[in-house]
Amino acid sequence: MSSAFTLPVFNPPDFTTDYFRACPLIRTGVVQKGGVAPDNYHATTIFPEYYQVDRSTWVLLEKTRMDCVVVQEGDTLSVREFRKLKKGNRVVLGRSEDGEDGIYVHTEGFASAGERHEKFSFLSRRTRETPFSRDYDSLYALLRYEKRYGRILWILGPAITFDFDSREAMSRLIHAGYAHALCAGNALATHDIEAALFGTGLGQDIYTKEYHHQGHYNHLDAINRARKCGSLSAFYRKELVKGGIISSCLKKKIPFVLAGSIRDDGPLPDVIADAYSAQDTMRSLLESATTVIALATQLHAIAAGNMLPGYQVINNRVRPVYFYIVDISEFALDKLANRGSLHVRGIVTNVQDFLINVQRALLG
């Protein structure tokens, strides 16, 4: 079987047909109060969306995310969160998505000709009984392609830092160029630093799994020492800490976002405590991502999924965005799909095993 990966061809709508010729132009309503959309606003989806701005001219949204509105400024259409609407903005109106309001949502752009879908079949959902060998093979080929031509963004939960081999595997993947950005929370960085300083995760040895005496202080000491330095980059320079995920990002100049939460200890310096500032910063990385892999972090995965379109427009070419979630729990996969991320691909497995498999396949 060939390990080469090729992007699927995008099939745009044929706007020369009589059906589309009969569709009206888009309509807009004016924002009367900042942060409040006019009635009958159109909410965006993860799919390619086209808007007829003048007769026979359908414009594709190039940067989008679901559950936002579309603002028209002259000939320009931009996607905007409700909280960023300003009085006087013109917002596109219409709830139909088949052209009747001048809006067409194209859900079949990447569908392959001759695809067969049975009305009834077994093993249609991803569960612990699903064989994932083909998924792994496809992912390896995709990552090799994306290393050269795309942008790989990882969404990481702290579980991967609790094991020596998975933490090392993630660090090696970063050094080898298989990461272009990273999003996580305070806990991932905290326990990565704890592992670097003490060799533990929440006080447990990440290699032997034995508990250290008073090990429950270790992650707090790690936070405190980092806070004393004022920033993570200053901490790594001063403490001469080697190895680990955050260290690898700093050395390779890989941008990362650490989004805070209400349950954080500390937090570490560089953690963005304001939720909307964290959202904006995450979105700045997700806007250019072409493959996203979320590991054992349900809430951050859902946040990323809500900001991630199903496509990107690169050099005037429409290509799909690939989104994987890897978790030991089937519930996490279903939860993400139920939140609107219909294009997510799930792998039900231990994330430590997943990372080690990926590292061996890509790096030997």
According to DSSP, residue 161 is labeled: G
- Mean pLDDT of all residues belonging to the chain: 91
For the chain, give the percent of residues with pLDDT over 90. Answer: 80
Inter-residue contact 207 to 164 (CB < 8 Å): yes
Nearest C-alpha neighbor of 49 from the set 36, 58, 41, 40: 58
Cβ(48)–Cβ(97) under 8 Å? Answer: no
What share of the chain in percent tops pLDDT 70? 92
Domains and CATH numbers, the chain: 18-105 (2.40.420.10), 133-363 (3.40.50.10690)
Q: Give the up-direction half-sphere exposure of residue 118: CA atoms within 13 A in the CB hemisphere.
A: 5
Q: List pLDDT tens digits, range 43-91.
A: 999 999 999 999 889 999 998 999 999 999 988 999 999 999 999 999 9
Digit-coded pLDDT (tens) for 242-264: 899 999 999 999 999 999 999 89
Rounded CA separation 183/121 (Å): 37
pLDDT recorded at residue 149: 96
Per-residue DSSP letter, 233: H
What pLDDT sits at residue 131? 59
Give me the half-sphere count of Cα atoms (radius 13 Å) on the Cβ side of residue 214. 3
| Whole-number pLDDT of residue 342 | 57
Is pLDDT of 113 > 60?
no
8 A C-beta contact, residue 361 and residue 3:
no
> 117: pLDDT confidence band, cut at 50, 70 and 90?
very low
CA–CA distance, 2 with 7 (Å, rounded to integer): 14
Q: Which two tokens stand for residue 269?
A: 């310096």
Has residue 122 got a pLDDT over 90? no
Of 54-58, 218-222, 228-232, give the lowest mean pLDDT range. Answer: 54-58
DSSP letter for each residue of 250-319: HHHT--EEEE--TT-SS--TTEE-SHHHHHHHHHHHHTT-SEEEEES-HHHHHHHHHH--SEEEETTEEE
71 contacts 80 by C-beta, under 8 angstroms: yes
Q: Over the stretch 287-346, which tens digit does the pLDDT of each residue have?
A: 999 999 999 998 899 999 899 999 999 999 999 999 999 998 887 777 777 665 557 888
Q: Is the pLDDT of residue 239 over 90?
A: no
Band the pLDDT of 119: cuts 50, 70, 90.
very low
Residue 5: DSSP 8-state: -
For residue 126, give every residue at least 6 positions away whose Cβ sits within 8 Å of its Cβ, in sequence order, or none.
Answer: 330, 333, 345, 346, 347, 348
Per-residue confidence band for 125, with pLDDT thresholds at 50, 70 and 90: low
pLDDT digits (tens, 9 = 90+) for 130-180: 657 788 999 999 999 999 999 999 999 999 999 999 999 999 999 999 999
Q: How confident is the model at residue 121 (pLDDT cuts 50, 70, 90)?
A: very low
Rounded distance, CA 350 to CA 212, Å?
24
* pLDDT of res. 56: 81
Residue 186 pLDDT > 60: yes
Instruction: Please give the pLDDT value at position 252.
Output: 97
pTM for the model stands at: 0.91
Q: pLDDT at position 1, please?
A: 43
Give the residue among 183, 144, 218 at the shortest CA–CA distance from 308.
183
Count other C-beta atoms under 10 Å from residue 16's C-beta: 9
Measured CA distances, 45 to 49, 284, 298, 302 (Å): 8, 18, 21, 15
Helix (H, G, I), strand (E, B) or coil at 62: coil
Handedness of CA 79, 80, 82, 87 (dihedral sign): negative
Q: What is the pLDDT of residue 341?
A: 59
Distance CA(44)–CA(39), nearest Å, equals 15
Which long-range contacts does 358-363 make (Cβ < 8 Å, 24+ apart)? 358/136, 358/139, 358/140, 358/143, 358/169, 358/173, 359/169, 359/172, 359/173, 361/136, 361/140, 362/140, 362/143, 362/144, 362/173, 362/176, 362/178, 363/172, 363/173, 363/176
d(CA 90, CA 28): 6
Supply the DSSP string of 96-127, one letter for each residue.
--BSTTSEEE-S-TTPPTT----SS-SS-S--
